[in-house]
């Protein structure tokens, strides 16, 4: 059983000490997340230890689109030749103090479930991510993400695949 919960970001969350080792991700949660929420540029969900408000991990979802020409041939079959609507997993980060405890996996699976739920209310074909580095690429590939044609760090996972993954994990 996890020692954390995942909940929508709120102003009561303590995030000033968050440190995942990636300055851009640290800066976002410490100083920018409130403005993104206010302007509806993304929706952030935070992991906190049970009974606490200290952020130990987070992810952000936003709307997006992938250029048709960037899709591999196998992924583009039967799709129209225009930008394909996706849910962008804009950020995912875990504090150094809890890395290696599968919180990243928990955050990713939560993000995938929310993406699947959203796809029932709006058009979205896949989840898209722009990995920061090769370590992040390896993490996403482990869960079935595949590279798009424009950049090896630009990855996607079809929501039909997400549905299979989540049904398998919940079964």
Chain segment 90-114, per-residue pLDDT in tens? 999 999 999 999 999 999 999 999 9
Say what the pLDDT of residue 13 is: 98
pLDDT digits (tens, 9 = 90+) for 39-85: 999 999 999 999 999 999 999 999 998 888 787 777 777 776 878 89
Give the Cβ contact number of residue 88 at 10 Å: 20
CATH 3.30.930.10 matches 4-170: no
pLDDT digits (tens, 9 = 90+) for 112-163: 999 999 998 999 999 999 999 999 999 999 999 999 989 999 999 999 999 9
Say what the pLDDT of residue 78 is: 77
DSSP 42: -
Residues with a known catalytic role: 140
HSE-up (13 A, CA, CB side) for residue 80 = 6
DSSP output for 77-137: TTS-SSPEEEEEEEEEEE-GGGTTSSHHHHHHHHHHHHHHHHHTTS---EEEEE-SSHHHH
Is residue 15's pLDDT more than 70? yes
- For residue 170, what pLDDT band results from cuts at 50, 70 and 90? low
**pTM for the predicted model, two decimal places:** 0.92
Say what the pLDDT of residue 1 is: 46
- Give the span between the Cα atoms of 30 and 10, in whole angstroms: 12
Q: For the chain, which residues make up each domain, given as ranges? A: 4-170
Say what the pLDDT of residue 2 is: 72
Contact 66, 50 (CB under 8 A): no
Is residue 21's pLDDT more than 90? yes
């Amino acid at each position: 059983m996890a020692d954390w919960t995942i909940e929508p970001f709120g102003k009561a969350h303590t995030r000033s000490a968050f440190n995942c080792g990636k300055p851009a991700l640290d800066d976002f949660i410490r100083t920018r997340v409130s403005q993104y929420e206010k302007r509806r540029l993304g929706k952030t969900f935070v992991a906190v230890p049970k009974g606490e408000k200290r952020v130990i991990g987070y992810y952000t979802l936003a709307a997006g689109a992938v250029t048709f020409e960037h899709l591999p041939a196998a992924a583009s079959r039967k799709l129209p030749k225009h930008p394909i609507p996706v849910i962008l997993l804009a950020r995912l980060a875990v504090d150094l103090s809890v890395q290696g405890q599968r919180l990243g996996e928990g955050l990713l699976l939560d993000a995938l479930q929310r993406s699947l739920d959203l796809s029932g209310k709006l058009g979205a074909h896949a989840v898209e991510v722009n990995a920061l580095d090769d370590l992040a690429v390896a993490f996403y590939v482990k869960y079935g993400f595949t590279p798009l044609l424009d950049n090896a760090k630009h990855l996607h996972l079809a929501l039909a695949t997400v549905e299979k993954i989540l049904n398998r994990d919940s079964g």
